């Protein structure tokens, strides 16, 4: 069953076609890699799926909902969470508070309950603190719960961003270059983490330039070039696809 499907999705920026009629789907439970040379339109696809950008044309369906016109926060509550290409944590707030931002959309306490600290609010707060700590523990950061996100080492910040996204209880997690800037050891750990996330029945879609990483963790790979989807399939097929080799693997040696 497809959890996400894009139907002829198009986005242009002042005449420049960033995404030109992309049609594709993501199977529930899969880890799907989105690859392609720089400027191919990968991040634009992510921004369209998460609602940061609105498509000029086409439809996006997620778990039975048409989401192309929804605001990002609505899409999050429907079950799509993301990380950003350049880390976008709240640097001055603690690791715990960062994760609590993800919990926000699964909480119900409103203005009055918050202002008057009603019993229901306190109960919810206690529960949520536990949930947030569990997410921190899941990525191995429970001990640093008080550390401001901005003073965590780079690799930890990446993982905190994932914890924050997981706290929204997503069905689909979108990771924009999760291994970017990581060293070999950290990349290895990230691989483990992706495996652990998928065991939680979360579908994953990721952009990554580290081909070893993509080939290792992904069930499906989508390849984009110049705003078009030029190939899709299992990693082994993609590696052999001459179009892909020409467009990407052969020419662009990403580190």
Partner 1 sequence: MEFFIQQLTNGLAVGGIYALIALGYTMVYGVMKLINFAHGELFALGAYVGYSLLVTFDLAGALGPAAAIGLTIVMVLGLVGLAGHLLERAAYRPLRHSDRLAAVVSALGASIFLQNAIMLKWGARHRAYGADLLPNVTVHFAGQSYPLIRLLVFLAAVLVMTALYAFIHRTRLGLAIRAAAIDQGAAKLMGIDVRSVIAVVFVIGPALGGLAGLLVGLYYGQIDFSMGQLYGLKAFTAAIIGGIGNIPGAMVGGLLLGLVEALGAAYVSVAWKDALAFVVLIMILVVRPTGLLPERVAEKL
Partner 2 sequence: MNGAARDSGLAGEASGLSRLAWLAGAALFLSLPSLFKAVGLSSGAYWLDVLNNVGLYTVLALSLNVILGLAGMFHMGHAAFFAVGAYVTAILNLNAGWSIFAAMPVAGLAAGLFAAAVAWPIIHLRGDYLLIVTIGIVEIIRIALTNDIFGLTGGPNGLVGIARPSLFGLKISRPQHFFYLIWLMVGATMLLFHWLENSRFGRALKFIKADAVAAEGMGVNVTRYKLMAFVVGAAWAGMAGTIFAARLRTISPESFNFGESVTLFTIVILGGSGSQRGALLGSFLVMGLPELFRGFQDKRLLVFGAALVIMMIFRPEGLLPPKAAKYALPEPWAGRHGPGGPGGPEEGAWPGGPGTGPGQADGSGRDEADGSGRDEADGRPAATGAEGSRAAPGGPSPFADGPA
How many beta carbons lie within 10 A of that of residue 126, not counting itself?
A: 10
Nearer to partner 2, 113 or 215 (CB): 113
Considering the complex, state which of residue 7 and residue 52 has its C-beta at the smaller distance from partner 1. Answer: 52
25-44 residues near partner 1, rule: CB under 8 A: 43
Footprint on residues 41-60 left by partner 1 (CB under 8 A): 43, 47, 52
Strand order, beta sheet including 16-27 = 16-27, 2-13, 57-62, 65-66
The minimum distance between CB 117 and partner 2, in angstroms, equals 4
Task: End-to-end CA distance of the chain: give it in Å, rounded.
Answer: 35
Interaction of residue 84 with partner 1, rule CB under 8 A? yes
Work out whether 221 is an interface residue with partner 2 (CB under 8 A): no
d(CA 201, CA 219): 14
Ramachandran bin of 87, using left for φ above 0, alpha for ψ from -120 to 50, beta for the remaining angles: beta
Of 18-47, which residues contact partner 2 (CB under 8 A)?
none
Residue 145 in contact with partner 2, rule: CB under 8 A: yes
Q: Which does 92 bind (CB under 5 to 8 A by kind): partner 1, partner 2, none?
A: partner 2
Size of the site for partner 1 (CB under 8 A): 5
Site membership for partner 2, residue 109 (CB under 8 A): yes
Which of partner 1, partner 2, none is residue 115 near (CB under 5 to 8 Å by kind)?
partner 2
**What is the nearest approach in angstroms of partner 1 to the Cβ of residue 8?**
23
Residues of this chain that interact with partner 1 (CB under 8 A) are 43, 47, 52, 84-85
């Amino acid at each position: 069953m497809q959890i996400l499907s894009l139907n002829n999705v198009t986005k242009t920026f002042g005449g420049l076609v960033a995404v030109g009629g992309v049609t594709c789907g993501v199977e529930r439970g899969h880890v799907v890699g989105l690859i392609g040379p720089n400027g191919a339109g990968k991040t634009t696809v992510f921004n369209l799926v998460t609602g940061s950008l609105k498509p000029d044309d086409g439809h996006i369906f997620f778990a039975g909902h048409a989401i192309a016109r929804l605001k990002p926060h609505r899409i999050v509550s429907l079950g799509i969470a993301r990380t950003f290409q350049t880390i976008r944590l709240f640097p001055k707030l603690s690791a715990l508070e960062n994760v609590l931002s993800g919990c926000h959309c699964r909480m119900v306490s409103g203005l009055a309950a918050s202002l008057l600290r009603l019993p229901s609010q306190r109960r919810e707060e206690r529960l949520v603190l536990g949930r947030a700590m569990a997410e921190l523990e899941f990525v191995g950061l429970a001990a640093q719960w008080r550390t401001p996100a901005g003073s965590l080492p780079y690799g930890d910040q990446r993982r905190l961003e994932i914890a924050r996204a997981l706290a929204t209880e997503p069905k689909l997690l979108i990771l924009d270059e999760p291994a970017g800037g990581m060293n070999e050891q950290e990349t290895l750990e990230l691989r483990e983490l992706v495996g652990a996330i998928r065991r939680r029945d979360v579908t994953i879609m990721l952009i990554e330039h580290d081909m070893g990483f993509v080939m290792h963790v992904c069930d499906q790979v989508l390849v984009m070039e110049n705003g078009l989807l030029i190939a899709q399939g299992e990693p082994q097929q993609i590696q052999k696809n001459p179009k892909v080799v020409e467009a990407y693997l052969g020419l662009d040696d990403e580190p």
